[in-house]
Chain A
Amino acid sequence: MIADTKRARVSGVSALAARAERLEKAKKIAPWLWSAVRLLLLIGISYVILYPLLVKMSQVFMSRADLDDITVRWVPRHFTLENVRLVGALMHYWPALLRSVGWCGGLSLLQLATCTLAGCGFARFKFRGRNLAFVLVVGTLVVPPQTYSLTLYTVFQKFDVFGMVSIFNNGEGASLLQTAWPMLLLSATGMGIRSGLFIYLLRQTFRGLPKELEEAAYVDGAGAWRTFFSVLMPNALSTMLVAFILSFVWQWNDTFYSNLFSPGFTTMIQVMRGVRTTITQYLGGWQTLSDIYASSLVNTATLLAVLPVILLYIICQRFFVQGVERSGLVG
């Protein structure tokens, strides 16, 4: 009887021990399993994102023979830079690149300056009407630009501030269409492409800085501007960089505003819009449109057009990730 219970207890203990062991094993395997699943998942998603890029990239260096050869799929057999050279010449690549970089860079810098000042103003200064102004800034994000693009167009068609311009211009506002002014003015007054988002981002950043920083500066007798440039701004640099990159990229890709105000500007994106026509004309007519060679040339053009932006991103990615983390978007 006693031996029986003893045996039962022993077997119970051993069962428990076995279970514990199994649990232990599961605990050891589970993280591994999760890592494997995570890795697979991330690779899959990265593949989906990179796929269009990879496809385009593989065709860039293929010679015409490779393109027609069905056994060549990803890696070119006859590596050639001929496509790049041809498309570069057709696009007038270097002048377009220089123009675009200058144009987008200038606009982004203007936009960044205004948005940083405004973000700091919203975060750090109390004055009447601040909340109303912020509601309007959020409003610029929520009201789609298409809704008022037409009236904005008319503003620049007869540009006049409180009748100031008409004094010098025979009682009429000046037409700023087809010039650089509309975009310059919009960017400089914080109404450029998605400026509202940058103001919001920078406001959050400035809000997150400790108050003691600037108080110390004020006690030492620095004014608002001095404090801003020597204390506040250096702490917001990483967010400013994020804002600059995003602004540059959106400017680079913008067709809406440029079509509205200055469709004649041959920036990269405008060149891209016409590139299909240019290539088919070069190849001899629209029937070549579905040709795989034409399509590979178009792909080359696309890659060449987005290459500067991707390079910018890769160079700045470290600061980008940091800046995004520091902007502390909470709230």
Chain B
Amino acid sequence: MNLPAVKHLFSRPEGRSKLEIRLARSGILFMTPLFIGLILFFVVPVAKSFWFSLANVGVTPDGYQTAFQGIKSYITALKVHPDYLQTLVTALINMAKTTPFVIIFSFFMSSVLNQRFKGRTAFRLILFLPVIFLSAAMMTLDSADRLQGAMDGFGAYKDTFGGSSVSFTQQLSDYLAAANISESTVSVISGAVDGVYRVIELSGIQIVILLTGLQSISPSLYEAAKVEGGSAWENFWKITFPMVSPLILTCFVFTVIDSFTSFDNQVMQMIDDTAFKGNFDFSLSSAMGWIYFAVIAAILGVCTFILSRMVFYYDR
């Protein structure tokens, strides 16, 4: 019998002191609440939801019954349901349209806010505001107003003629239409104006993240570049950009996740409505959720893979 090997099984692993083992134990203690939560309120419900999507879920007086039925619900969602595919594609296109702008805008704004000038604090305060109340409280109301056609994107204000409130974009397109500009041009312009608002609204946290990145770049890098005679342009492309590129990736992931988990997302609404309104089709609802998740995960995976090749890591 190979005694040292057996002994090794019971002795502590090499390179770990008694202290480290004790610390590892308290580390686990630190995380006990999280572990409980992860298992009870994440792993179990997610697994159950996956099972639901593959089963026929019937509601009974004292709960529900499930019977395995394969991928029927997935087929229903993709082939039979009248709107699902359409809504899914629209949501993806919207996301593809806004994400690059959000990234570029937040990168630009964080560079601007990183410079030294008077009133910087005030502007930072204002630009972080959307993080604070990108809010249901404002949003539920604004969308309700949208229904009555009184408020839109820029909020309402008193119209000089009617005494009723008209949206900024609406007014703008009215002016443009009055100036004999073709309808398609008007719609492009007002679309862009609405887009600007949306991009600004969505960029709050991204600006915060990139700003932290910019401030953590060591000044010595710029000093070295100065000695070597680097221009501002070169500094930007050879120091600033590579150094924050990991954070641009983070921002990208965050923007995508934010846009597809946000509560005004059409697909999310549909998933919710399928489960809780109408005929309580839990299986279909779960299947829709999983298809959506799979699509997003695939997009995130591919984009992250491509982007991570371009990202520069300082201490790799």
Contact = CB atoms under 8 A, between A and B. Distances in A.
Given A147-B271, A191-B37, A321 B24 contact: no
Interface in B18-56: 19-20, 22-31, 33-38, 40-46, 48-49, 52
Given A255-B136, A302-B137, A325-B211, A117 B33 contact: yes
Contacts of B211: 324-325
A242 B314 CA distance: 27
Contacts of A167: none
A154 B34 contact: no
B175 interface: no
Main secondary structure of the interface of B (DSSP, over half): helix
B212 interface: yes
Interface stretch (B71-79, B95-103, B140-148, B178-186): B140-148
A133 to B, nearest CB: 7
Contacts of B289: 144, 146-148
Contacts of B88: none
A49 interface: yes
Interface residues of B, number: 102
A24 interface: no
B268 A269 contact: no
A155 interface: yes
B278 interface: no
A218 B33 contact: no
A245 B43 CA distance: 28
Interface in B155-174: 155-158, 160-161, 163-165, 168
Given A325-B211, A329-B247, 17 more contacts: A38-B115, A45-B127, A55-B157, A70-B160, A121-B30, A125-B30, A144-B289, A145-B261, A148-B289, A151-B44, A151-B286, A157-B63, A186-B41, A188-B37, A255-B140, A325-B215, A328-B216
Interface of A: 35, 38, 41-42, 45-46, 48-52, 55-56, 67-68, 70, 72-73, 114, 117-118, 120-122, 124-127, 133, 136-137, 139-152, 154-155, 157-158, 161, 185-186, 188-191, 199, 218, 223-225, 228, 245-246, 249, 252-256, 268-269, 272-273, 276, 289-290, 292, 295, 298, 302, 305-306, 309-310, 313-314, 317, 320-321, 324-325, 327-331
The 7 closest A-B pairs by CB, nearest first: A125-B27, A189-B37, A224-B26, A147-B289, A52-B155, A121-B30, A151-B45
